[in-house]
Chain A
């Protein structure tokens, strides 16, 4: 080890691990607190039943699947630039999925009983479908990483990569279907959601990958190749545009249906925090500004791309907040044509403000992803692509 890591790097590594552990433990204690007192200590209630933990969890699950695209482009579609990045992408995918599931499981009312979902499997439930999809992804990515890192197994990279790629598309479809199958609420129940989630995963996965890759390069004193960066950033730009397009189509179809007009008015104009997050958070900061940073001829350097990636992640959280929480805040149309009033918030816009424990739980999930990635990169040193050696070969295009 002494030859690979300098003393500064080692010291830094232990500080990183300590920080990650501290945050993860804080998240666990927050979950313990929530389990002890009940969800009354969160901002969630009988109207807003899914809150900020679900925003964190769904972001991580989408990104976990999206980050695998970098591996797929290398292994399945044979692009040489991406091949050295596949192991880090695999590690990140496992880490993010673990973080997302950590949050999702610990937010349950009875996390102690989660095994019941396996013993009494309900074949019509998308949630139940997702369980084998999640555990399958863990297994497949683990096999994939072994194949990538073991010289003798390199012949298997392409077929296994193809299986992983197919599986991750199914997994994100499953995540989108969680909402697409909900007939009850105006925001959901759209067949556009699974494809939207897949396109989002492409962009968000790349954004997370950029941030992590440059951080890991920096911590481990390695240098990033600007040509590779240019290709990755262009790809991210394309996905940001594609996501914007699908989000626009989703809202346009809703706007066209008179029955959805009030909901769209709420989400896009007068719903307070939701339109603010949508326009300022997702559209401007999370999409347009990153596009400028990526494609402006004078910008697009490493620092710009990393900033753009962080903005894309910010936009992702905004968009999910609007979709998940905004979608529940708007009242259900149980009695169309009537003004409604009741003790159970019928006909009223519901309020939600996340409490500290649930935010800490969400951050705990991120911390777990961070911790697993840091340790993975440290232990499996070959995860980090060493481009400086191969650079001359790749600069031909």
Chain B
């Protein structure tokens, strides 16, 4: 068998097996996805506003699956020291006045008015047309001004050389990075890895979708339940908001 054929077969089998695995793992997820997949070669649309609604009443403090899924998807090492990157983290809250306990995942909230984009000297921090806030690592000079400006502490600096490149997101030393809302998956019409993992764990605390699309679940949910934007006083209008705070 020639190598060419071999590779094609590999690719075909790979895609097919991934698709089958996907159907087996999360039935129903893909129904929504195919409707939202963007045609190959098209740019992210300004009519779309990707966002997330995180229901802290459904989130379990013992569960860390969203974090593990993110680490696996992007080939991030599990964080051990303060210099390690964390794209998503679990936060445990205790209301001081009442003692009520809350658990929720925290990541880049993809602001509509992102301070990181304003302060970046090289336009490496930018907001994509569909509202996803990203770092263009080809342009990042590693000044960390965005990390000073972010009120959610969403960003991490890569303090060491990255030796393993098996993740979906190319990463390298000396640049800043954060949650990409799994733009590579979203562009394929899939959900972010954390959202998928949360559903798979049976919690479904994370609802992802297009905030501009009246047919989407998230569109209806943000209009029917009380949700909170973190640090709403700053007027940054993040695309990810929370229920149960």
Contact surface of A with B, Cβ cutoff 8 Å = 35, 37-40, 44-47, 49-50, 108-111, 113-114, 116-117, 120-122, 124-128, 131, 178, 181-185, 188, 328, 332-335, 337-346, 350-351
Q: Which 7 A-B pairs give the minimum distances between C-beta atoms?
A: A109-B142, A109-B174, A45-B82, A127-B121, A184-B151, A49-B144, A40-B159
B97 nearest in chain A by CB position: A337
A345 nearest in chain B by CB position: B82
Q: Is B17 an interface residue (CB 8 A)?
A: no
Interchain residue pairs with CB less than 8 A apart (24) = A38-B173, A40-B83, A40-B159, A46-B85, A46-B86, A46-B156, A49-B147, A109-B143, A109-B174, A109-B176, A116-B122, A120-B124, A125-B145, A126-B119, A127-B143, A128-B121, A178-B145, A181-B119, A184-B115, A334-B230, A338-B94, A342-B92, A342-B106, A344-B106
Residues of chain A lying within 8 A (CB to CB) of residue B90: 342-343
Of the candidates A39, A342, A343, the one whose C-beta lies within 8 Å of that of B159 is: A39
Q: How far is A120 from B125 in the complex, measured between Cα atoms in Å?
A: 11
Residues of chain B lying within 8 A (CB to CB) of residue A116: 122, 124, 139, 141
Of the candidates B118, B150, B155, the one whose C-beta lies within 8 Å of that of A124 is: B118
A344 touches B140 (CB 8 A): no
Q: How far is A378 from B175 in the complex, measured between Cα atoms in Å?
A: 42
Residues of chain B lying within 8 A (CB to CB) of residue A183: 115, 149, 151, 234
Q: Please give the distance in Å from B98's CB to the nearest CB on chain A.
A: 10
Q: How far is A40 from B83 in the complex, measured between Cα atoms in Å?
A: 7
Residues of chain B lying within 8 A (CB to CB) of residue A127: 119-121, 143, 145
B140 touches A342 (CB 8 A): no
Q: Please give the distance in Å from B57's CB to the nearest CB on chain A.
A: 15
Residues of chain B lying within 8 A (CB to CB) of residue A38: 158-161, 173-174
Q: How far is A341 from B96 in the complex, measured between Cα atoms in Å?
A: 13
Q: Which of B77-130 contact A (CB under 8 A)?
A: 79, 81-86, 89-97, 102, 106, 115, 117-124
Q: How far is A333 from B230 in the complex, measured between Cα atoms in Å?
A: 10
Of the candidates A50, A109, A114, A338, the one whose C-beta lies within 8 Å of that of B173 is: A109
Q: How far is A172 from B242 in the complex, measured between Cα atoms in Å?
A: 40
Tally of B interface residues using CB under 8 Å: 56
The number of inter-chain residue pairs (CB within 8 angstroms) is 175
Interface centre among B82, B92, B231 (most CB of A within 10 A): B82
Q: How far is A188 from B115 in the complex, measured between Cα atoms in Å?
A: 14
A328 nearest in chain B by CB position: B148
B119 touches A125 (CB 8 A): yes
Residues of chain A lying within 8 A (CB to CB) of residue B140: 109-110, 113
Q: Is B157 an interface residue (CB 8 A)?
A: yes
Q: Please give the distance in Å from A198's CB to the nearest CB on chain B.
A: 21
Of the candidates A108, A181, A343, the one whose C-beta lies within 8 Å of that of B141 is: A108
B96 touches A339 (CB 8 A): yes
Q: Which of B173-218 contact A (CB under 8 A)?
A: 173-176
A49 touches B148 (CB 8 A): yes
Q: Is B152 an interface residue (CB 8 A)?
A: yes
Q: How far is A338 from B174 in the complex, measured between Cα atoms in Å?
A: 34
B91 touches A342 (CB 8 A): yes
Interface centre among A121, A125, A188, A328 (most CB of B within 10 A): A125
Of the candidates B102, B142, B149, B175, the one whose C-beta lies within 8 Å of that of A338 is: B102
Residues of chain B lying within 8 A (CB to CB) of residue A114: 141
Q: Please give the distance in Å from B94's CB to the nearest CB on chain A.
A: 4
Q: Is B153 an interface residue (CB 8 A)?
A: yes
A45 touches B141 (CB 8 A): no
Q: Please give the distance in Å from A337's CB to the nearest CB on chain B.
A: 6
A109 touches B118 (CB 8 A): no
Residues of chain B lying within 8 A (CB to CB) of residue A333: 231
Q: How far is A109 from B83 in the complex, measured between Cα atoms in Å?
A: 13
B153 touches A332 (CB 8 A): yes
A122 touches B97 (CB 8 A): no
Q: With contacts A108-B142, A125-B120, A182-B149 known, is A39 near B157, CB below 8 A?
A: yes
Q: How far is A37 from B96 in the complex, measured between Cα atoms in Å?
A: 42
Q: Please give the distance in Å from B167's CB to the nearest CB on chain A.
A: 18
Q: With contacts A125-B120, A183-B149, A346-B106 known, is A338 near B141, CB below 8 A?
A: no
Q: Please give the distance in Å from B95's CB to the nearest CB on chain A.
A: 6
Interface centre among B86, B91, B152, B234 (most CB of A within 10 A): B91
Q: With contacts A110-B175, A127-B121, A184-B115 known, is A343 near B86, CB below 8 A?
A: yes
Residues of chain A lying within 8 A (CB to CB) of residue B158: 38, 109
Residues of chain A lying within 8 A (CB to CB) of residue B122: 113, 116-117, 120, 122, 128
Q: How far is A125 from B149 in the complex, measured between Cα atoms in Å?
A: 11
Residues of chain B lying within 8 A (CB to CB) of residue A39: 83, 157, 159, 174
B121 touches A117 (CB 8 A): yes
Residues of chain A lying within 8 A (CB to CB) of residue B151: 183-185, 332, 334
Q: How far is A50 from B159 in the complex, measured between Cα atoms in Å?
A: 13
A338 touches B96 (CB 8 A): yes
Q: How far is A14 from B234 in the complex, measured between Cα atoms in Å?
A: 56
A110 touches B149 (CB 8 A): no
Residues of chain B lying within 8 A (CB to CB) of residue A128: 121-122
Q: How far is A264 from B159 in the complex, measured between Cα atoms in Å?
A: 31
A46 nearest in chain B by CB position: B156
Residues of chain A lying within 8 A (CB to CB) of residue B147: 46, 49
B121 touches A335 (CB 8 A): no
Interface centre among B140, B151, B176 (most CB of A within 10 A): B151
Interface centre among B84, B120, B143, B153 (most CB of A within 10 A): B143
Interface centre among B79, B97, B142, B160 (most CB of A within 10 A): B142
Residues of chain A lying within 8 A (CB to CB) of residue B120: 122, 125, 127
Q: How far is A252 from B232 in the complex, measured between Cα atoms in Å?
A: 26
